[in-house]
Amino acid sequence: MNTRPVIDESHGPISLSASFNSDVSCFSVGTDTGFCVFSSEPCALQVSRLLNAGIGIVEMVRNPPLTTNPRTGIAEMLGNYNYLALVGGGKNPRWPQTKVIIWDDAKKKEAVTMEHKTAVLRVRLTRTHIAVALVNAVHLYAFSSPPTRIAIFETADNHLGLCCLGSKLLAFPGRSPGKIQTFELKTQNVSIIPAHASSLRALDLSQDESLLASASETGTLIRVFSTANCAKLAELRRGVDPAFIFSIAISPDSNTLAVTSDKSTLHVFDLTQLPGRSPATPAARSSTNSARRRSQSPQISSPAADDEPQSNKWGFFSKIPLLPRIFSDTYSFASIHFEMGDEAITNDSSLKYLPALGSLPTRPMKGIIGWKDNATILILGTGRDGRWERFRIGDRVIQQGQEEVIKKDVWKDGWKRYLGS
């Protein structure tokens, strides 16, 4: 009887990492054989580069437009947007994981190599700056040829490579666990936000860079801060049980926040009650109505501008003094299951090379959130079962006794295995 373990099996391509660009018009995927770029909606392959080796991190310049070459019929990226940041990964990495390669996709070759002393955990890229996250430092460069180092910031242990880079601001873990450090690119002012009592697990900067959201390794609370004065604006409760937060993302209009965790649940919170915020704008309501029509769901009604947010599930208990704070905390107005696949935590040698960014150790990245618009959430998962899912937000009419009540809700509106395996 043959009792020898299987050394390797053909499972098709494995996605090692995935990330959206800043406006979520497309997303990039690093695989065990190269990298790909997909349009976000519809989910369709735009660019594929076979390098015959693993790419663990792919990061695109902000808002890279895609066009089709009339001669070849192949999608290409244009002008200054031709550059991507690549880091080797997988069983057979294309480059050492201590190197960041700035790839010129117009010439299909390496343009710049940036070498570091320890493994690169994440890269953020804009048209003017490059941020490289290591386990205990973040390196900031001007995007030039060659890149010019602007600063090196020491951080607490940052095994998830947390780092947010915008056109005006860089945000990353501080030197002490639970603290967030921000750096203004123009003035070089530095601010420290004492966000949590334990280490950070997730971080996101809003598109207008006015809000910063974070979660700790406990995973029960999400806190929202103003980047202007570092004030805490909100504390949102995901749940009571600890959880591993996969991803946090703020909507384009900064009125909604989404979070995913290893509970396989997407939670969506209303931010319109924050200081200086207002209910959804007509444009956002129009976007919601458009999403409702596309979904063709008979239970969805047009949103009302003056509806009160469904933010506390305990009702009148939240107003009783001296009860535990979980009764008065702000909860999500809707939650829904997303797919995590069947790739459980394992010692499988083929999975141990997958990055743990935004996920559990030895588990492929899951629950990566991108806001396509104010009413559409996209979620990515990597691994053998690389999956794209789309969720819509709108108002649902529910029957309570003899009355109809309008409640904001979220529902799944499509999914796809993007690698086609």
DSSP-assigned letters across all residues of 245-257: EEEEEE-TTSSEE
Say how far apart CA 291 and CA 212 lie, in whole Å.
Answer: 27
Task: Kindly list the distances between the CA atom of residue 128 and the CA atoms of 32, 131, 178, in Å, as whole numbers in the listed order.
Answer: 29, 10, 29
Tell me, yes or no, whether 65 lies in a domain.
yes
Percent of the chain with pLDDT over 90: 64
Strand 169-173 to strand 44-50: parallel, antiparallel, or no bridges (unpaired)?
unpaired
Q: Is 27 or 313 the better-scoring residue by pLDDT?
A: 27
| C-alpha triplet 169, 361, 23: angle, nearest 5° | 35
Tell me, yes or no, whether 93 lies in a domain.
yes
Tell me, yes or no, whether 20 lies in a domain.
yes
Average pLDDT over residues 356-361: 48
Q: Which residues contact 324 (CB under 8 A, 6 or more apart)?
A: none
Tell me, yes or no, whether 78 lies in a domain.
yes
Residue appearing with tokens 């123009």: 186
User: CA 245, 249, 254, 255 torsion: positive or negative?
Assistant: negative
**For residue 396, what pLDDT band results from cuts at 50, 70 and 90?**
confident
Average pLDDT over residues 351-372: 69
Note the pTM of the prediction, 2 decimals: 0.83
**For residue 11, what pLDDT band results from cuts at 50, 70 and 90?**
low
Q: Give the side-chain half-sphere CA count within 13 A for 146.
A: 8
Q: Is 399 or 114 the better-scoring residue by pLDDT?
A: 114
Amino acid, single-letter form, for residue 213: A
Q: What is the three-class DSSP state of 161?
A: coil
Closest Cα to residue 56, out of 342, 356, 344?
A: 356
Residue 363 contacts residue 345 (beta carbons within 8 Å): yes
For residue 349, how many other CB atoms are within 10 A of its CB?
11
Tell me, yes or no, whether 322 lies in a domain.
no
Average pLDDT over residues 378-407: 90
Say how far apart CA 373 and CA 392 lie, in whole Å.
Answer: 10
Give the model confidence (pLDDT) of 41-67 as tens digits: 999 999 999 999 999 999 987 544 445
Length of the chain: 421
Q: Is 308 or 221 the better-scoring residue by pLDDT?
A: 221
**For residue 129, what pLDDT band results from cuts at 50, 70 and 90?**
very high
23 is written with which tokens? 């406006």
Say how far apart CA 92 and CA 349 lie, in whole Å.
Answer: 12
Cross-strand bridge partners of residue 50: 34
**For residue 420, what pLDDT band results from cuts at 50, 70 and 90?**
confident
Cross-strand bridge partners of residue 34: 50
Residue 22 contacts residue 207 (beta carbons within 8 Å): yes
Strands (E), 271-317: 300-301
Residue 74 scores a pLDDT above 80: no
Tell me, yes or no, whether 354 lies in a domain.
no
Please state which of the ranges 34-43, 163-172, 286-295 shows the lowest mean pLDDT.
286-295
Say how far apart CA 75 and CA 287 lie, in whole Å.
Answer: 28
Average pLDDT over residues 397-410: 86
Percent of the chain with pLDDT over 70: 75
Tell me, yes or no, whether 103 lies in a domain.
yes
Q: Is 84 or 66 the better-scoring residue by pLDDT?
A: 84
Residue 355 scores a pLDDT above 80: no
- Can you give the pLDDT at residue 192? 97
Query: Contacts for 66-70 with beta carbons within 8 Å, 24 or more apart?
Result: 66/26, 66/37, 66/39
Tell me, yes or no, whether 19 lies in a domain.
yes
Residue 311 scores a pLDDT above 90: no
Q: Containing domain of residue 26, as a range?
A: 12-120
- Can you give the pLDDT at residue 106? 84
- Can you give the pLDDT at residue 305? 33
**For residue 256, what pLDDT band results from cuts at 50, 70 and 90?**
very high
Residue 375 scores a pLDDT above 60: yes
* Helix (H) or strand (E) run with residue 400 in it: strand 387-400
Q: Is 296 or 176 the better-scoring residue by pLDDT?
A: 176
Domain count, the chain: 1
Mean pLDDT of the residues in the chain: 82
Looking at 154-299, list the stretches that DSSP marks H as alpha helix, in order from N- to C-terminal side. Answer: 282-295
Please state which of the ranges 23-27, 140-144, 290-294, 304-308 shows the lowest mean pLDDT.
304-308
